[in-house]
Chains A and B, each alone.
Chain A
Amino acid sequence: MATYLLHRLAGTIPVLLLISLLVFLLIHAAPGDPTLLLLGEETNAAEVAKAKERWGLDQPLYIQYAKFIRSAAVGDFGKSFKYAEPVIGVIKTRLPATIELAVFAIIIATLLAIPLGVWAGSKPNSWIDNLGTTFGLFGISMPSFWLAIMLILLLAGVLNLLPTSGRSTYGIAGPEQSGFYILDSVMQKNWSAVWDALTHIFLPALALGVNMLGILMRVTRSSILEVMNEDYIQTARAKGLREKNVVWRHVTSNALIPVITVVGLELGTLLSGSIIVETVFAWPGSGSLLITALNARDYPLVTGIVMTYTLAFVAINLIIDGLYAVVDPRIRY
């Protein structure tokens, strides 16, 4: 297992290098000049030249990239043009919000998708199967930005149940410790802040998780259908086990392996989906930060965020590979 992990880790180095090169080249190739965008409408040529020198933009691209790689190797993505602070520090302040949102989106998606998928798969062609399949298709095909606006209109507007945006109501939460509002509030036993944070996270997490929900539901259903026809399931039934036990103990546990794979893959999609959802809901995470950085052509910050996402994606895949061995005893590395 250790050798396997080492091999996998070594394999990530060329991936990271390639992605860093791609991001670096693409963001520099994009039209738009950070100095012109950041220095305001009344800026002049002298100020622009000074800023270019300060930010190293007056040097050839290959030198800029070499400098970036040398710093990135020791965990330094440089200084943000817009914030004038180290990129790592800026990302650190925003990442907990995105992680918290992604975790809640996964919770909503899995809590709904797995039982619905199991239910639909265990009763093929029933009304619940048709309903579940329609629901899954709805989740997959709905664009998150549209769903986000619809959720705001319905749940925040018409029904007035939830706040339209933001991460918390001012004045309720205690001092920030870890950056995870819900966790911090639980640790502080500030239950009104916990509730406030939950009401704020529900809509963005739902908007973010619905797509994953649809995919997971369909994968679970297919997987259940496949396992239901296995011989050992017939044996379990022949032994006289109740259908509920057959489905949940024997079918579901064996059908979960592809579901775990999809959860892992979809985590990456969640990160990219958070860019839109965070912007619509004014969620102060790394997704909305990326939009701000892109609009300002803040090269170090854009590269830093994309590299962080890449690292997260690679790490998640490694964890998922490890989980296979836990879920399926036949898999050994």
Chain B
Amino acid sequence: MRIAKDYLVIFGALALLLCNGVESGAQVRVSIGVTETIETHNPYGDSASLLYGIFSEVTGPFCTYSYAKGDFEGRLAERWKVENPTTWIFYLSKNYKFNDGTTVTADDVVHSLMNRVINDPQSKQKASVAPSIVKAEAVDKFTVKITTDKPTAPLLSFLCDRLIVTSKAAFDKYGRDVADREHMMGGGPYQLKELIPGQRLVLQKRPDHPDAKKNPRAPDEVVYRIMREPEQRVTALLNDEIQIAQFVPPHMRQRIENNPKLRIAPIDSVEIMFLAMQPKPPFDKKEVRQAVCQAINRDQIISTLLEGFASRLDGPLGPGQYGYDPNLKPKLNYDPEKAKKLLAQAGYPNGVDVELQTPVGRYTLDKQLSEAMIPMMNAAGFRAKLLTPEWATLWANVQKGTIPFYYIGRGSVQDPSAALHQYFHSGETPRIGYSNPKLDELLDKEQQEFDAKKRRQYLSQAMSILTEDAPACFMWRHKLLWGLNSRVEYKPLPDARIYAIEMAVKK
């Protein structure tokens, strides 16, 4: 019994110590629980949405997409013009200064594009930021000329919120690795204060920055903490350990809503979710593809499993995305009887075997949503099975074009050009392997058309072909749920980027 008493004393003391809780700082600091990893000091060393957002905030951004206006807005690049179909001129603001006080100039933009994004073997951003750019040159101190290898009307969708402009002088003086680790220079309203790969990243406000002066209530410090588990993010938000929780699953939202100090902020994502169908038997027949689309009751799935936190897609795009056409036709609505007839027309009156592959845990309730689709498809005459490979396997096979039928999302679709080319233009990627000369012609035209009105028309016609021919069933856009402490005023963005300079914090 004596031993027991000794241990009780020890544990009692330990419990008392633990009850003292965790200290918190006095700074106006906002901690954000995020799901993606922050792994590298090299701002060009990864190609992830969160990183583009964070480093854009540190370094600019170069330009940004305004969801309110449905168009691009200037930032470091104040304005631009298309000199000819392959030449763009960008005029830089003279007010952007690196954190050492030197002005951000055209040389820095050229250096960032050519030396860091395009030619540096360590860059993982060439395809995402500068796919068609062949040359960037400084016309004068604040003017940059960018040349593309082909007319690229959606060039801004690659550069805005993505191009990270870092200091050429720091690079020349310290070399790449030391400059990135110890002298991360940017012209944005925040500067990098600490990065512990795999754990957290800390930004500190630059109070003298013009954007910071415009919004003095923006937090002094922002701590991005990696929290992959939703439970962890929700618990940390409830404990005030973090003030913003990214991506709260719908079934956990009530725990947040029940707390008077917290709220849920839903926002339509720009990630489009769809079922891709390769034109190989049985999906080589348009009727089979259309039957899939008409067999699935998207509204029911949205209202039940997703608890209303998604917006149905009747084509590739939804409101707020560039080129969205509310009058797009045809609409393949839920109609199981029609689906049965289509299957019979395609030569499968007794049904047909199909295997749907879905990732697990990659997208909101991906497996559960796919599971719900299976009985719906079976009720319309399919004999559907669900396969759930690990993401790396599924993604590799999608990119190789070896999966005939899969559920997937395509993110960052502010401007749909890249996504539509990637999945539906002949010969671009083998992800679907679909080929339609008329669609190719329209997609080529939209990419080369600099008149916005005409370009939207081409996009609309292309999307109409896609919904009619149905190489993919466009399902929904999730509403991303953000958990927010009521001390923080912030409107999350559809692309899940986080701009702390747009926050307002009550002290």
Contacts and interface: CB of A to CB of B under 8 A. Distances in A.
Given A43-B127, A153-B235, A160-B21, A33 B399 contact: yes
Given A83-B39, A164-B239, A169-B24, A152 B196 contact: no
Contact of B418 (A33, A42, A281, A284): A42
B395 A164 contact: no
A199 B239 CA distance: 15
Interface stretch (A215-223, A287-295, A305-313): A287-295
Given A32-B392, A40-B47, A164-B227, A172 B126 contact: no
Given A32-B396, A39-B47, A115-B3, A164 B236 contact: yes
Contacts of A42: 127-128, 131, 418, 422
A157 B235 contact: yes
Contacts of A40: 47, 124-125, 127-128
A248 to B, nearest CB: 9
Nearest to A172: B23
Contacts of B21: 160-161
Interface string B20-35: 1111110101010000
Interface in B124-177: 124-128, 131
B385 interface: no
B3 A164 contact: no
B199 A167 contact: yes
Nearest to A202: B18
A50 B22 CA distance: 49
A54 interface: yes
Nearest to B429: A44
B393 interface: yes
Given A40-B127, A192-B23, A292-B37, A32 B395 contact: yes
Nearest to B422: A42
Interface string A91-123: 001100000000000000000000100110000
B199 A284 contact: yes
Nearest to A50: B121
Contacts of A41: 47, 128, 410-412, 422
Contacts of B27: 171
Contact of A280 (B29, B46, B229, B399): B229
Nearest to A154: B235
Interface string B224-238: 011111011001101
A98 B198 CA distance: 13
A71 to B, nearest CB: 19
A195 B14 CA distance: 12
Given A119-B4, A170-B194, A36 B232 contact: no
A202 B40 CA distance: 27
Interface string A158-169: 001111111101
A295 B202 CA distance: 25
Interface in A21-51: 30-33, 36-44, 47, 50
Given A41-B422, A44-B127, A157 B239 contact: yes
A266 interface: no
A282 B7 CA distance: 31
B16 to A, nearest CB: 11
Contacts of A172: 23
Contact of A282 (B228, B389, B400): B228
Given A38-B124, A54-B121, A196-B23, A94 B198 contact: yes
Contacts of A84: 40, 42, 45, 122
A220 B388 CA distance: 43
Contacts of A279: 228
A162 B18 contact: yes
A192 to B, nearest CB: 6
B239 A284 contact: no
A170 B200 contact: yes
Contacts of A37: 392, 395-396
A149 interface: yes
A165 B236 contact: yes
A43 B45 CA distance: 14
A204 to B, nearest CB: 12
Contacts of A44: 127, 131, 429
21 contacts: A30-B393, A31-B393, A32-B395, A82-B45, A84-B42, A93-B197, A94-B197, A118-B3, A149-B229, A152-B229, A156-B236, A160-B239, A161-B18, A166-B225, A170-B202, A171-B25, A196-B23, A279-B228, A285-B198, A292-B37, A292-B198
Given A31-B392, A153-B231, A292-B39, 4 more contacts: A37-B392, A93-B197, A156-B235, A165-B232
Interface of A: 30-33, 36-44, 47, 50, 54, 82-84, 93-94, 115, 118-119, 128, 149, 152-153, 156-157, 160-167, 169-172, 192, 195-196, 199, 202, 244, 279-285, 288-289, 292, 294-295, 297
In the A-B complex, list the 10 residue pairs whose CB atoms are closest, starting with the nearest.
Answer: A40-B47, A284-B198, A32-B392, A31-B393, A43-B127, A284-B199, A32-B396, A157-B235, A84-B122, A164-B236
